[in-house]
Structure formats: C-alpha cells, structure tokens
Amino acid sequence: MAAAADLYPLRDELSQAIAQTAGVTVRFTFGGSGILARQIENGAPYDVYLSANESFVKDLESRGKLVSGSAAVYGYGRLGLWSKSGKIKNLNDLVTQRIPHLALPNPAHAPYGAAARDMLRSLGLWQALEARVVYGENVEQALQFAESGNADACITAWSLLRLKGAVLLGDSFHPPIRQVGAVVASSAQREAAARVLGFLTSSAGRDLLVRYGFSVP
C-alpha cells in the first residue's frame, strides 16, 4: 500500500485494525504523495494509493492507473508548527526571531508543503522566509530536519507533531488538505483493496484518524 507519509504514526494501529475488521494484511510504503504517484504511473506493484493530495488521484484515475470510481475522501490533514527549542510559539515568531532555517515538505510533491507555503503567502510572511526555507522530501523528513538541528523550526503534518508540544495551525489560510484513497488499477487484489478503503471511510476508521490529529468528512 502506497501511503502518504502523514499516515506513518498510524501504521501499527491501522494495520491491526484493517486485519481485524477487513481481514486484510497490509504492508505500507510511505512517501510524498507525488513521489508515490510517479511510482504508480511507472508500474509499481501497489494495491492501494492513499494520497494527501486529491489532484494526484484524479490525474492517475484519468489515465487509467486507478480503478475508476474507487476514489474516496477519508480525512483532512492539518498543519502544525514545531521548534526543538520551544521558542517558536506562532508563525510571526519565524520572522521576528529571524531564524536561519525553516523546514517544510517539498511543495512539488508533498501537499503539506504546498499548503504551508500558501498559508505563509496569505499571511504576508513568505517573502521574508522564502530564502531561509529548507525542503524535506516529505512531511517526515521536514520534521527530521528540525529534530536534528538542521532547521530551527518546521511546519509539517499535525499527525507527526501532536504529541510534541507543537502549535496547531488554523486551516483558514490554505486549501483543504484532502486525503484521498483509491484502488490501483494493476492490482491483482482489487476486492481486498476496496475493503481497506472501506475501513478508512467507516466510523471506526475515521475515529482512528481523529485520534491521530486528522479531521474527517
């Protein structure tokens, strides 16, 4: 299963719940949604694609790489702000404290990075910060930059930050981060893949997502 990296904290509970309720054993490959989309386009042997960007799903579906009609929104991602020092309390602090480096997921293939950039632009902060931004390949690597000290703060998926004393950022300044899943057209296990998506869109699946910091439809 190709899964957006913001789902990494759920991997154990999610795999156990899917096994118990859907009778399916899953193995995850985590990465940026755009990178995973390219892998599927090139024939990677996935059964399910869980993307943090709806446009990647629509594009693959339009070209026959995903089963038509199988796509479903199962949640909405949220952004968080975190600094190892704990001194960054809000987005304005990124500018007023003149931090040397801010880590973001790469907007080219990580929807959270695009959303973070849109938010900073909307708030008039991007021009002051752009030259200081370092990009991780996905939400997890952006956090790793801040954890290791290679960046002074990060804006990344709230699911990765919720237990770290981070700041949850409002979603009114960027488009919704729509989490969409679909069955890969080349899968030999379409029925099992559909059961996985069925769990994610069930009340039990959504309860699990909420516990890990997502909002749900």
**What percent of the chain is predicted at pLDDT more than 90?**
95
In a domain, 217, yes or no: no
- Residue 97: domain span: 79-168
Q: Do 10 and 62 share a structural domain?
A: yes
Phi-psi category of residue 68: left, alpha or beta, with phi > 0 → left and psi -120 to 50 → alpha: beta
Phi-psi category of residue 53: left, alpha or beta, with phi > 0 → left and psi -120 to 50 → alpha: beta
Whether residue 171 is predicted with pLDDT greater than 90 in this model: the reply is no
Q: Do 116 and 43 share a structural domain?
A: no
Q: Do 98 and 62 share a structural domain?
A: no
- Give 173's pLDDT tier (boundaries 50, 70, 90): confident
Q: CATH code at 205?
A: 3.40.190.10
In a domain, 203, yes or no: yes
The candidate with the shortest Cα–Cα distance to 26, out of 42, 36, 13, 38, is 13
Q: Do 97 and 52 share a structural domain?
A: no
Q: Which of 150, 168, 186 is the last residue of a domain?
A: 168
**Residue 90 pLDDT:** 95
**Residue 139 pLDDT:** 96
CB 79 within 8 A of CB 169: yes
Whether residue 174 is predicted with pLDDT greater than 90 in this model: the reply is no
**Residue 131 pLDDT:** 96
Query: Hey, what are 154's tokens?
Result: 């990060």
Q: Do 180 and 153 share a structural domain?
A: no
Q: Do 150 and 104 share a structural domain?
A: yes
Average pLDDT value for the chain: 96
CA atoms within 13 A on the CB side of 154: 32
In a domain, 22, yes or no: yes
Give me the mean pLDDT over the 179-189 stretch: 97
**Residue 109 pLDDT:** 87
What does the alpha-carbon distance between residue 160 and residue 140 come to, in Å, rounded to a whole number?
7
Q: Do 92 and 22 share a structural domain?
A: no
**52-106 confidence digits (pLDDT tens):** 999 999 999 999 999 999 999 999 999 999 999 999 999 999 999 989 999 999 9
Q: Do 90 and 67 share a structural domain?
A: no
Domain total in the chain: 2
CB 88 within 8 A of CB 80: no
Q: Do 149 and 122 share a structural domain?
A: yes
**126-139 confidence digits (pLDDT tens):** 999 999 999 999 99
Whether residue 170 is predicted with pLDDT greater than 90 in this model: the reply is no
Give me the mean pLDDT over the 32-55 stretch: 96
In the chain, the amino acid numbered 16 is: Q
In a domain, 216, yes or no: no
What does the alpha-carbon distance between residue 160 and residue 123 come to, in Å, rounded to a whole number?
24
Q: Do 86 and 163 share a structural domain?
A: yes
**Residue 71 pLDDT:** 97
Q: Do 185 and 205 share a structural domain?
A: yes
